[in-house]
Structure 1
Amino acid sequence: MQHLDLQVIERALVWSRQGETIWLCTVIDTFGSSPREPGSWMVVRQDSQHIGSLSGGCVEDDFLLRLSQGEFDCPITVVRYGDNDAAQRPNITLPCGGILEVLIERLNPAPPIIEHLETLRDTLLGKYHLMRNVHLASGSAYFSDDTALGPKVVQDVQQGIVKIRVAPAKRLIIAGISAVSAPCAAFAVTLGFEVIVCDPDEAASKAFDVPGAHVKAILPSTYIASGVCHSGTAVVALTHDPRIDDLAMIEAVRTPAFYIGVMGSTQTSAVRTERLIRSGGLKQEDINRLYMPIGLALGSKTPAEIALAVMADIVRVQYGIRIGDL
């Protein structure tokens, strides 16, 4: 199952190539509690087919109704939902009590638009780190290089530009099937990761059943070495089997993955470090990239608790939070 952002942009590309006008909706600001974070996308075509989401359903329903009534015919519209003082109608109270500000772009199926969407797709696939700049007065959009950390959406009020960071879609590669693999995959799917589980045991791979996770009956190291890791990728080895875990680590440190972790006790991790240096040819800087023992120290005992600790640590690293700041 692909990450939702990638699904949205790939569907937008398909519809544009078919000659359809589309509306790309982006959450650009939130106030208080909100169902989706800034940068969340939904794409819609004229007959109300859509993919992605902006809220729990009420915002989408209002948008589709108003679109069917001929609204949003301008290149750019900004609508605020949940604000009693907003001039737009109708006024919608979000279930969470928050406020959403949504950027709505009407995109004709012209070659420059298709090329723009292709760049968005390639960025989500890990080829670039870009800032998407949308000019609110003209509706024009262009890309600029972006390697900095910061908010997903920045509004430059003076210039009248909305700046949206576009980075590779979140991906989790789980090396090996164990009791921890299924709850870890389930947590990751819920968190919006594209999840790939690799194990050379065909019977175990066939029996693995987590909705939304994609299973490959292949040695994880072989899959990782094929070039599937980008900077939005986390790799976790969860089997306690050095034949799977060690090889996965050796290949993963050669990639730009932002998180590489392997399960095991402190003593096991020390032994693994010696083994990876001695037999795997890893250097100390490679070892420093590995999170082992994997996961936050939550006192986890059960497979689900260990999976929770693993995913919590991945999210921590993803957002640049240091252990001392928790």
Structure 2
Amino acid sequence: MQYLDLQVMSRALEWARAGETLWLCTVLSTFGSSPREPGSLLVARRDGAHAGSLSGGCVEEDFLTRMQTGEFEEPVMEIRYGGDNGPQNPQISLPCGGILEVLIERLEPESGNLEHLNALHAALLGQRPQVRRIGLHDGRRELSEDSGLGPRVERDAETVRVRVGPASRLLIAGISPVSAACAEFARTLGFEVIVCDPHEELHGEIDVPGVRLEAVLPSMFIATGGCHGATAVVALTHDPRIDDLAMIEAVRTEAFYIGVMGSKRTSQARAERLRRSGGLSDEQIARLHMPIGLALGSKTPAEIALAVMADVLRVQRGKARDAL
């Protein structure tokens, strides 16, 4: 999940507690060019105040105008923007013929809805991914535990299922030029980014707004609860004192991606070292992505970082390498 989701849900909870009726919008699917991915949220109240976004422009304006004039009064409904089946507004079009499908829920400030919003807020703050199920005919809502991996939105004729959970975290073990590029890509992708390196004199090399720097060994940060199921751990220094220890601790966590930089030859040597000195089993070593990243022929730090983040996203979305 992205940090924006938590901001949206915090605002929704604040308004619901104040007795406001809310309209919670979820992007269900996109086709063609669209600036927001499935699962993106927007919450609004009757006076037009809102948080989050659906497309970053005219779609929000159209929705808010229609909501304020009395549309969308059903407990749950779907609308489609773009293509041949958009709303009755010929001025609304998306770039490159894109199509956007949105689920709209009208939530009265009653106890059941307040409970559900509280549970959603807790899921976004917690460490356990959940799946939210919304009945398309009766508006019934429920949350249950989930793996956190796979498409963010799934649907059938009866139900929409939306994955929710803690903000995706990228834990970067050690500072290097690749680390700096990776941190920048990850922040753009909506990850919470934490960089751990005990050498404080290197911290100035990470100049990315919003990145959290920790002057500790990555292994110590991981061992004290620094990972959850929505965490990717990447070691990018070529320093076995940092990389190997981070791998030894990371495989004991629920992190969905654990990878370390190095050539095939270096990776083979590291695997033997981790078996011999780190006591890792073959099953634990199989969790490590090494060499890290997609094989894009990357050479520069930015190219390597791109390959790393592309592979992290591949795993997060549940895509096999041979399905790319």
Q: Which bin holds the TM-score, normalised by the shorter protein? A: 0.7 to 0.9
**1:222 to 1:131, Cα distance in 2 relative to 1, 3 A:** same
Residue 324 of structure 1 aligns to a residue whose secondary structure is helix
**What amino acid does structure 2 have at the position aligned with 1:12?**
A
Pairing partner for 2:192 from 187, 191, 194: 194
Q: Can you list the C-alpha shifts for 1:69-96, whole angstroms capped at 9, x where unaligned?
A: 3443443232221144445446511123
Partner of 2:206: 208
How far is the alpha carbon of 1:176 from its aligned partner? 1.2
Partner of 1:41: 41
Q: Determine what percentage of the aligned residue pairs are the same residue.
A: 64
**What amino acid does structure 1 have at the position aligned with 2:257?**
Y
Partner of 1:105: 105
CA contact (8 A) 2:3 2:192 kept: yes
Pairing partner for 1:166 from 164, 167, 172: 164
CA contact (8 A) 1:76 1:105 kept: yes
Pairing partner for 2:222 from 204, 219, 224: 224
**1:148 to 1:11, Cα distance in 2 relative to 1, 3 A:** closer
CA contact (8 A) 2:79 2:87 kept: no
Partner of 1:27: 27
How far is the alpha carbon of 1:323 from its aligned partner? 3.0
Matched, 1:93 2:87: no
Alignment of 1:88-167 (within 5 A): 88-89=88-89, 92-125=92-125, 127-147=127-147, 151-157=151-157, 159=158, 161-167=159-165
Q: Measure the CA separation in 2 of the matches of 1:291 and 1:166.
A: 25
CA contact (8 A) 1:174 1:197 kept: yes
Q: Measure the CA separation in 2 of the matches of 1:283 and 1:155.
A: 39
Partner of 1:250: 248
Partner of 1:57: 57
**What amino acid does structure 1 have at the position aligned with 2:273?**
R
Q: Can you list the C-alpha shifts for 1:51-75, whole angstroms capped at 9, x where unaligned?
A: 3221131111222233343443443
Partner of 1:321: 319
Q: Normalized against structure 1, the TM-score is what?
A: 0.87
CA contact (8 A) 1:79 1:88 kept: no
CA contact (8 A) 2:236 2:261 kept: yes
Q: Measure the CA separation in 2 of the matches of 1:206 and 1:269.
A: 29
Q: How many residues align?
A: 324
CA contact (8 A) 2:130 2:163 kept: yes
Q: Report the aligned-residue RMSD.
A: 2.6
Alignment of 1:237-316 (within 5 A): 237-316=235-314
Between 260-269 and 48-57, report the one with greater CA deviation.
Answer: 48-57
**What amino acid does structure 2 have at the position aligned with 1:210?**
V
Q: Measure the CA separation in 2 of the matches of 1:183 and 1:85.
A: 41
Moved runs in structure 1, 4+ residues, more than 6 A?
Answer: none
Between 83-92 and 249-258, report the one with greater CA deviation.
Answer: 83-92
Q: Measure the CA separation in 1 of the matches of 2:268 and 2:85.
A: 60
How far is the alpha carbon of 1:149 from its aligned partner? 6.3
**1:218 to 1:15, Cα distance in 2 relative to 1, 3 A:** farther
Between 146-155 and 185-194, report the one with greater CA deviation.
Answer: 146-155
**1:14 to 1:241, Cα distance in 2 relative to 1, 3 A:** farther
CA contact (8 A) 2:149 2:316 kept: no
Structure 1: segments with no counterpart, 5+ residues: none
Between 44-53 and 191-200, report the one with greater CA deviation.
Answer: 44-53
Structure 2: segments with no counterpart, 5+ residues: none
**1:294 to 1:113, Cα distance in 2 relative to 1, 3 A:** same
Pairing partner for 1:235 from 225, 233, 236: 233
Q: Measure the CA separation in 2 of the matches of 1:112 and 1:127.
A: 23
